[in-house]
Amino acid sequence: MTLNRLPTPFDHARPRAVALIDARYLRWLARLDETEGVSLGALTRGGLTDPFHHALNRAGIRASLLRTYWYTDTDDQAVCDDQTLRMLPPQDSDGAALVRQMAADLQVLVASGRVDVVVIASDDDRLLAPIDAAKLAGLSVCLLADERAQAMPRLMQQDPNWARLLREADRRLVLRSEELAQALQPSGEGAGPRRNDSLREDDLQAVVSAWWQDQSEDDRESLRDELPALRGLPPEVDRELLLRGKNALNRSLNFHEKRWMREHARQTAMGQGGEGVIAVEASPGE
């Protein structure tokens, strides 16, 4: 019987799927940056196939996962079947190179006409236009998320850009953080202690508020005039803000923390958070 058999790359009777995976996003989704002693080189890409198949099945998509593209700035030297590394420049702190490469690959997949489903693991809302174009071309687009995607009204308050991207998907593939962390770590490694997200975001919110209070009135007016024409922050402001965040947490910031600080600094400067205070509903225990 083949009822419980996992699909193979050669099972053409099923819809054909390809996954495009941002390694930094996947690492954040699994909350591995909150774990002491876990290095990027320790992650195991080969353990992702089964969880992806199960997530597709839970979403009602009986697809054959042909290949996974893994976007990263670190070569782990691993050889994994049906996986391709897409190397990114190490200085791609704002994710621009990632978005360009992923959008280009998505366009090629659309043009080939040989793929039915695309699974995307990213929270960068600059992918909204390429995703919409892929849907208009007939592809089914799924976005990978953790359990927070199951409470969309709450996520729309906490992280509106990510929520907007997830809502654009045809389906949301939900993998619990623990399940994803287990798949990405070598057998026998535990997840280790985690820091509560609400405490971390309180620290970062305090950093943004202190940064804004330290600005002169002239600097504030200059930022209010400049920001509407920019997607992010001016480079000198970005460097100062990230350095403050690093000093506050006594460690380097992960991908999500950098994005969180940039977004809330913009909200504060443009008057969307009130008198220098950012209104954010923390997510206790998540």
How confident is the model at residue 128, as a pLDDT?
96
Tell me the C-alpha distance between 9 and 168, whole Å.
27
Q: Which residues span the domain enclosing 75?
A: 16-184
pLDDT, residue 97, reads 94
Tell me how far apart the alpha carbons of residues 108 and 106 are, in angstroms, rounded to a whole number.
5
- Per-residue confidence (pLDDT) for residue 219, from 0 to 100: 87
The 3-state secondary structure of 110-157 reads: HHHCCCCEEEEECCCHHHHHHHHHHHHCCCEEEEEECHHHHCHHHHHH
Nearest-angstrom CA–CA distance, 284 and 286: 6
Furthest C-alpha separation in the chain: 73
Tell me phi and psi for residue 19, to 5 degrees: -110, 135
Within the chain, which residues score under 70 in pLDDT?
A: 1-13, 33-43, 186-200, 272-286
Q: Is residue 7 part of a domain?
A: no
Task: Single out the residue in 126, 153, 184 at which a domain terminates.
Answer: 184
Please report the pLDDT score of residue 262 as a whole number. Answer: 86
Q: pTM of the entire structure?
A: 0.65
Q: Which spans in the chain are helix H?
A: 23-29, 49-58, 96-112, 128-136, 152-158, 160-168, 177-184, 197-213, 217-226, 235-249, 255-269
Check whether residue 140 and residue 234 sit in a common domain.
no
Same domain for 170 and 96, yes or no, is yes
The confidence score (pLDDT) of residue 239 equals: 85
Whether residues 32 and 157 share a domain: the answer is yes
Condensed to tens digits (0 to 9), the pLDDT of residues 249-280 reads: 777 777 777 888 888 888 888 886 433 333 33
Same domain, 162 and 263: no
